[in-house]
Amino acid sequence: MSFTHPGVLLLLAVPAILLVWAWQRRNWGVVLPFDHQHHGSGRAIRWLLAAFDSLPAIALIGVVVILAGPQVLRRPADQRVLTNIQFCFDVSGSMSSGRRYEMARDAVVEFIDARDGDAFGLTLFGSYPIRWVPLTRDLEAIRNALPFADPQRQPMHMGGTRIGRALEFCLGNMVEEAEDGDRMVILVSDGVSSDLSDSGAALALADDLNASNIMVHHVHVGNGSVPAVVQDLARETGGEAFVATDSKGLQRVFDQISGLRPDRFAPGGTVPMDFFAPFAVLGLVGLGGHLVGLCWGRYTPW
C-alpha cells in the first residue's frame, strides 16, 4: 500500500499520544455517588472506561490515514479496444441521384451512435480525395460534417470515381492518425473505379492495406452488382462487399459490418486505486463506539 500524501501520516502521533494518555492516566473524572457502591471488579470498570476513552483517537487514526490518500495496486475493469474507422465517401454526381447519399449518411449516423467510444474519420473522394474530418472520438464532428459533404455541394472536378486513389489516401491517413487498436475503412460508392482497371493494381493495394492492418468493407449503393475488382480488394483485406439500394438495406449492411468487428475488451494493467473503505469503517466504528460510551458507559470528558 502507498500514500498520495505520506507526510500527513506524521499526524498519527496525535492519536498515539491520546491512546497513551487514555490508558496511563489515573484520574477517571468526577467521583459520583454511584462510585461508592459495590461494582465487583474495579479493574474491569477501568478497562471499560479506558476503551471508551480510546475510541476518539481510533476515529482520528481513520481520518488521518484517509487524508494521506491510501492507494493499492489493482487491475481495473477490462478496457475497450479502440477501433479506428474511416468512412470513404463517394461524392461524385451520381451519388446524388435517388437519395443515395442521404440514405448512406443516415445509416452512418446510426452506425456511429451504436459504436460510441471508437474513433471515426471522414474522407470524401471523386476525382480527388479530400480529408474531410480527421480521426476523432468526437461524434458530433462527424454528424455536423456529413451534411456539408453532400455531392451537390462539390465542385465539378469531383465528378469522377477514383476508388484506388481514395483508398491509398485513406491508408496514409490511417498510418498517420490512427491510435493503437483495430483499423477499418468503410468505402461507400455507387460506381466503378476508373483507376483500378486490373486485378493486379487492386491486389497490390490490398497488400499495402494488409501491411498496415487495415480492413476494407465496401458498401455499393448503386444499381447492379459490386465491381469485381473492388470486391476482391475488400476480401483480400479480410473485409466484405455489400449491395444496398434503400434505407433498410443500408441499415442491415452497417449492422452486419458492426457485427463483423464487434466491441472488444482487453485486460488493463495494474494501476494505483484509492483504498479508503477500511479506514472509513475504522473511523465510523470509533465515532459510533464513542457515542455509545457517552450515552451508556457513564464516560465523563474531564
- CATH number (domain holding residue 215): 3.40.50.410
- For residues 227 and 274, state if they share a domain: no
Asked if residue 155 is part of any domain, the answer here is: yes
Give the pLDDT mean for 237-263. Answer: 86
Write out pLDDT tens, residues 258-300.
Answer: 887 666 655 555 667 788 888 889 889 888 888 877 776 654 5
Write out pLDDT tens, residues 183-226.
Answer: 999 999 988 887 887 768 888 999 999 999 999 999 999 888 88
Asked if residue 145 is part of any domain, the answer here is: yes
Write out pLDDT tens, residues 6-61.
Answer: 888 899 898 898 888 877 765 555 555 555 455 555 667 677 777 877 888 888 99
- For residues 55 and 183, state if they share a domain: no
Domain coverage including residue 15: 2-75+270-296
Residues whose CB falls within 8 Å of the CB of residue 217, separated by 6 or more in sequence, listed in order: 184, 185, 186, 187, 234, 239, 240, 241, 242, 257, 260
- For residues 41 and 92, state if they share a domain: no
Confidence of residue 302 (pLDDT cuts 50, 70, 90): very low
Write out pLDDT tens, residues 63-112.
Answer: 999 988 888 877 665 556 678 999 999 998 888 887 889 999 999 999 99
- For residues 205 and 280, state if they share a domain: no
pLDDT at position 269 is 59
- For residues 136 and 246, state if they share a domain: yes
In angstroms, rounded to a whole number, what is the distance separating the alpha carbons of residues 271 and 73?
5
- For the entire predicted model, the pTM comes to 0.63
- For residues 84 and 228, state if they share a domain: yes
- CA-nearest of 266, 275, 207, 249 to 98 is 249
Asked if residue 302 is part of any domain, the answer here is: no
pLDDT at position 170 is 94
- CA-nearest of 280, 249, 224 to 106 is 249
- For residues 203 and 223, state if they share a domain: yes
C-alpha cell at 78: 477490462
Give the pLDDT mean for 114-133. Answer: 90
Asked if residue 166 is part of any domain, the answer here is: yes
Confidence of residue 117 (pLDDT cuts 50, 70, 90): confident
- For residues 109 and 256, state if they share a domain: yes
Asked if residue 301 is part of any domain, the answer here is: no
Asked if residue 14 is part of any domain, the answer here is: yes
Asked if residue 125 is part of any domain, the answer here is: yes
Residue 244: CB atoms within 10 Å:
22
**How many domains are contained in the chain?**
2
- For residues 23 and 106, state if they share a domain: no
- For residues 235 and 97, state if they share a domain: yes
Asked if residue 256 is part of any domain, the answer here is: yes
Write out pLDDT tens, residues 137-172.
Answer: 888 999 999 888 888 888 887 888 899 999 999 999
- For residues 224 and 118, state if they share a domain: yes
In angstroms, rounded to a whole number, what is the distance separating the alpha carbons of residues 2 and 50?
32
- For residues 275 and 204, state if they share a domain: no
